Amino acid sequence: MFSSNHEPANIKEVFCSVQGEGPYVGMRQAFVRFSGCNLNCSYCDTNFGNPGTCDYERVEGSGISEKVPNPVSIEKLESMLQPFKKLHSVSLTGGEPLLHADFIEKLNISAPLYLESNMTLPEQARKLRKNVAYVAGDFKLPEAIRDICPETREVHVENTIECFRLLKKSSSRDCFCKIVIGKNTNSDTVIMAAEAIATCVSCIVLQPETPLGSAVRTPGFTQASVQTILKLQKTLLELTDTRIIPQTHRMWGCL
Ligand SMILES: C[S@@+](CC[C@H](N)C(=O)[O-])C[C@H]1O[C@@H](n2cnc3c(N)ncnc32)[C@H](O)[C@@H]1O
Ligand SMILES: Nc1nc2[nH]cc(C(=O)O)c2c(=O)[nH]1
Ligand code: SF4
Ligand SMILES: [Mg+2]
């Protein structure tokens, strides 16, 4: 399931853009999107399938991608990141990047690493404590995960809390939590999640679900009401800094 120390990794795409989510919105980043995921979120906007080649957009915003054969070696990825200048950080995302922790652990790049994770694999998270400077950790609400059964629901929550404890904010690492809020989100579950990880994070981001596909044309189809999200923010502000930030990259069409 996980890449070993020496194996290269299957990568979906590598590009340079700006962070579209959370408190670092607008910061210039290189993105490394690893293939594969261990979850199946109802709202997922990403095709993390394992293609034979990695789409590499060498010139930011050009829309011109080269096909780099998968799996990609550590050395090859490091060279693919070379052309991207003035970066705030390199976003390691997916799919689920924790599935590739052994690969990430070996990366040797000058820019700080920004881990974009579903926070469900504590033993993998433990490997990255020393080399990620930013943790954008989702708290995946059980009701948003397809096929989750009651027995695994508790373990899922425990694993998530353990990941936040392992990667919690420190003098050398920022860690914040994103929670996607959709029409079916149970506010009590959000509050449970926030109470469990509030001391591990610098802030909580309530991220309204972005409608996908045909739902885009039916406003309100998947989103929670503004009133619901604002009420949740008021409650969570009793615990920690809580912000409401939508996916901004969807608004202006960057990758
Ligand atoms: C595609 S995921 C990849 C990283 C990791 N697997 C995770 O879920 O955190 C990156 C981010 O996109 C968010 N996301 C995916 N689909 C979304 C949607 N339809 N609306 C809002 N956020 C979405 C996820 O919640 C996560 O914060
Ligand atoms: N611009 C931009 N910002 C992002 N923040 C999180 C993303 C993700 O898919 O991991 C993402 C993404 O795909 N694009
Ligand atoms: S964990 Fe992330 S990549 Fe995986 S299904 Fe959920 S949103 Fe998509
Ligand atoms: Mg994305």
ipTM: 0.99
The number of CA neighbours under 13 Å toward the Cβ of 7 is 13
Instruction: Output the six-digit token pair for 106.
Output: 């070996």
pTM: 0.96
Q: Domains, the chain, ranges and CATH?
A: 11-252 (3.20.20.70)
CB of 13 within 6 A of ligand 1: the answer is no
**Is residue 93 exposed (0-12), middle (13-18) or buried (19+ Cβ within 10 Å)?**
buried
Which SS3 state, helix, strand or coil, does residue 72 take? Answer: strand
**Cis-peptide into 20, omega within 30 deg:** no
Q: Closest Cα partner for 32 from 5, 60, 12?
A: 12
C-alpha triplet 182, 123, 242: angle, nearest 5°: 35
CB of 254 within 6 A of ligand 2: the answer is yes
| Cβ 67 vs Cβ 55: under 8 Å | yes
Task: Please report where in the chains the tokens 């989750």 appear, as a residue.
Answer: 148
CA of 200 to the centre of ligand 2 (A): 23
Residue-level pLDDT, tens digit, the chain, 255 residues: 555 446 899 999 999 999 999 999 999 999 999 999 999 999 999 999 988 999 999 999 999 999 999 999 999 999 999 999 999 999 999 999 999 999 999 999 999 999 999 999 999 999 999 999 999 999 999 999 998 988 899 999 999 999 999 999 999 999 999 999 999 999 999 999 999 999 999 999 999 999 987 667 666 676 899 999 999 999 999 999 999 999 999 888 899
d(CA 193, CA 161): 8
Instruction: Output the six-digit token pair for 113.
Output: 């690493």
- Please report the atom of ligand 2 found closest to the CA of residue 136: 6
Q: 191-203: string of b/e by CB count within 10 Å (b at 16+)?
A: eebbebbbebbeb
State pLDDT tens for residues 93-150.
Answer: 999 999 999 999 999 999 999 999 999 999 999 999 999 999 999 999 999 999 898 8
Residue from 118, 132, 185, 250 to probe ligand 1 pocket by mutation (most atoms less than 8 Å from CB): 118
d(CA 144, CA 179): 10
CA of 179 to the centre of ligand 4 (A): 14
Task: Please report where in the chains the tokens 């394992």 appear, as a residue.
Answer: 50
Task: Please report where in the chains the tokens 């353990």 appear, as a residue.
Answer: 162
CB of 137 within 6 A of ligand 2: the answer is no
